[in-house]
Structure formats: structure tokens, C-alpha cells
């Protein structure tokens, strides 16, 4: 996969996303990171793989840069990173739609698991090529 390829989803900040400080709660950003990853997987992965492979998070790193406010339109922009045997890196930026201002940046490491057993599993070359910028 071309590492410059990104996938974006549009999000509207809902009243339920707002915390006592008057802006989007930190956990909502993480939810958006996961929504973007799932949408990207569903858009790219062949259906046969979507039925057999689930993904679990091994690690999230997130940097909050600027607050998002109720009613704003947000873009969650994601792209794949490096992959190793059983770990797949994904990067995500949360941007305000009207000015593309960076609100948060995340790095997540995912592990593929067998949908039936729930155990980590290696993926075939087709999936590795779709979801790996660098394969080691």
C-alpha cells in the first residue's frame, strides 16, 4: 500500500460528546480513532477476511492539540504504518473540517485475531499488503 494513502470519515460533534469543561471529552477522540480504523478496514478488506479476522488494540498513544466544540464538523484521517509479525501500526489525525486544524494525533498498534478463537493469528499476504507500510 502506498503510505501516502489516507482514509477519512466525517464526524459531527454531538452534545453527548461534551464534558464538564465545555469541549469534547478525551475518550471521545479515542472512539473516533477506532471508528476511523474500523471504517478503513471495512472499506479495504475483502469480505472473506472481514468475517475471519478481528482486531484488538495493543496500544494507543494520543496527543491532544486543540479542543473540539459542540456542533463542529470533524474529520478523522487515518493511514497505516509499520507492520511486524502480529502488530500493525495505524496513525490517525483528528482535524476540524472547516480549517483542517489538527485537534489530536494518535498512534495505535493493532493485533489481528481469529474471529472464532479470539487468539492472535497471522494474516495472509493480501491483508499484509493492504495494511502494511513496511513489513518486517
User: Do residues 1 and 80 lie in contact, with contact meaning Cβ atoms separated by under 8 Å?
Assistant: yes
Does a structural domain hold residue 1?
A: no
pLDDT above 60: residue 1: no
Confidence of residue 134 (pLDDT cuts 50, 70, 90): low
104 domain-assigned: yes
Number of domains in the chain: 1
CATH of the domain at 53: 3.10.129.10
- Digit-coded pLDDT (tens) for 78-116: 999 999 999 999 999 999 999 999 999 999 999 999 999
Residue 25 lies in a domain: yes
pLDDT at 133: 87
The confidence band for 4, taking pLDDT boundaries of 50, 70 and 90, is: low
Measured distance CA(42)–CA(38) in Å, rounded: 6
Is 90 among the domain residues? yes
Q: Please, are residues 82 and 136 in contact by the beta-carbon 8 Å criterion?
A: yes
Q: What is the domain extent for residue 129?
A: 7-135
Question: CA nearest 40: which of 79, 94, 97?
Answer: 79
Is residue 2, in this structure, part of any structural domain at all?
A: no
Amino acid at each position: 500500500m502506498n503510505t501516502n494513502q489516507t482514509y477519512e470519515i466525517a464526524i459531527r460533534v454531538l452534545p453527548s460528546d461534551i464534558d464538564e469543561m465545555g469541549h469534547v471529552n478525551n475518550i471521545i477522540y479515542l472512539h473516533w480513532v477506532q471508528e476511523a480504523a474500523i471504517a478503513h478496514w471495512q472499506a479495504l478488506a475483502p469480505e472473506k477476511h472481514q468475517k475471519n479476522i478481528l482486531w484488538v488494540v495493543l496500544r494507543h498513544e494520543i496527543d491532544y492539540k486543540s479542543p473540539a466544540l459542540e456542533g463542529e464538523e470533524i474529520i478523522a484521517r487515518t493511514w497505516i504504518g509499520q507492520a511486524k509479525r502480529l502488530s500493525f501500526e495505524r496513525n490517525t489525525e483528528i482535524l476540524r473540517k472547516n480549517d483542517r486544524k489538527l485537534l489530536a494525533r494518535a498512534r495505535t498498534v493493532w493485533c489481528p485475531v481469529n474471529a472464532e478463537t479470539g487468539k492472535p493469528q497471522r494474516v495472509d499476504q493480501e491483508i499484509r499488503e493492504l495494511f502494511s507500510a513496511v513489513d518486517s
